Amino acid sequence: MAEKRPAPRVGLFVTCLVDLFRPTVGFAAVKLLEDAGCTVEVPSAQTCCGQPAFNSGDRKTAQELARNTIAAFEGFDYVVVPSGSCGGQIKKHYPELLAEDPAWAARAQHLSARTYELVSFLADVLGVTDTGARYDGTITYHDSCSGLRELGVKEQPRRLLASVEGLTLNELPGAEVCCGFGGTFCVKYPDVSNRMVEAKTADIKGTQADTLLAGDMGCLLNMAGKLKREGSAIRVRHVAEVLAGVTDTPPIGEKG
């Protein structure tokens, strides 16, 4: 960033799963953004982006929640989301959801244009190349579907992870294949979902990594839950935790 430009004002969209299950990710995101020179605010009027309703066919509720989010995040330079899935919902699906609503279509577009997934925001928009973190371990990285295919998050996390001291990345074969989470999919079709996550954990173990990272809490809860059920000692964390060097919280699914 140029020296004298005013700090970008960033609204953090926390996401339900980070808010409820893993506040650590929220604080890691705040730290990464502040270290990169942003002013971060967390509007308390935010709740859920509405994706569960949207993907369950409840368009009306999805629209209402979209309006709520849009209103909560007006006025920020950027809106940053530590999730490709919720980020994709805001960036890709809000404009489509509200396209026929004259009062909201433009506001949806405006929010969409300012919204970014956390890691790609750091790398692509802020030009961060090194987060100054240290992590002693061998990690492997799973590309979450929405981040990858809706938002093009692929090499940004790898680029930033490469700057983390002490960290080795062992690439995950089939890193782009879905882990089987899929929101309500995993409880509606538990057996199919299980087959998918089983294949994923087998690949993860095959990398010999001691840590699994990804950018989406849904996938992380799914993969961590399966690894723990299988008795694996592999640690599971959100990529933001490692990039921010915020790793004093126990890994996902482990006791403090």
Partner 1 sequence: MEPTTHAFPENARKALSDERLQKVLAIAPAGFVNRRKQAADRLPEFEALRDQGRDLKNHVLANLDTYLEAFESKVTEQGGHVHWCRTDQEARDAILGICRAANAKTVTKGKSMVSEEIGINDYLEANGLTPIETDLGEYIIQLRHEPPSHIIAPAFHLSKKDVEGTFRQAHTDLPPDRVLDDPKVLIAEARTVLRRKFQQADVGITGANLMIAETGSTVIVTNEGNGDLTQILPRVHVVIASIEKIVPTLEDAALVLRLLARSATGQEASAYTTFSTGPRRPGDLDGPEEFHVVLLDNGRSALLGTEFQEVLRCIRCGACMNHCPVYGAVGGHAYGWVYPGPIGSVIQPALLGVKEAGHLPNASTFCGRCEAVCPMRIPLPKMMRHWREKEFEEGLQPAAMRKGLGLWAWFARRPALYHAATRMAIRALGALGRGKGRFAALPLAQGWTKHRDMPAPEGKTFQQMWAEQKGKR
Q: Which residues bind partner 1 (CB under 8 A)?
A: 14, 18-24, 26-27, 42, 44-48, 50, 52-59, 61, 64-65, 68, 72, 145-146, 149-150, 176-178, 180-197, 199, 221-222, 224-226, 228-229, 249-250, 252-256
Supply 85's token pair.
């899935």
Buried b (16+ CB within 10 A) or exposed e, 64-88: ebbbbbbebbeebebbbbbbbbbbb
Query: Nearer Cβ to partner 1, position 114 or 226?
Result: 226
Strand partners, 80: 12, 116
Handedness of CA 244, 116, 201, 190 (dihedral sign): positive
**Closest distance of CB 140 from partner 1, Å:** 18
Query: Nearer Cβ to partner 1, position 162 or 192?
Result: 192
Query: Nearer Cβ to partner 1, position 142 or 164?
Result: 142
- Stated as kind and residue range, the H or E segment containing 69 is helix 59-72
- Stated as kind and residue range, the H or E segment containing 9 is strand 9-12
**Closest distance of CB 20 from partner 1, Å:** 5
Query: Nearer Cβ to partner 1, position 146 or 164?
Result: 146
**Closest distance of CB 255 from partner 1, Å:** 4
Separation of alpha carbons 81 and 156, rounded Å: 15
**Closest distance of CB 75 from partner 1, Å:** 17
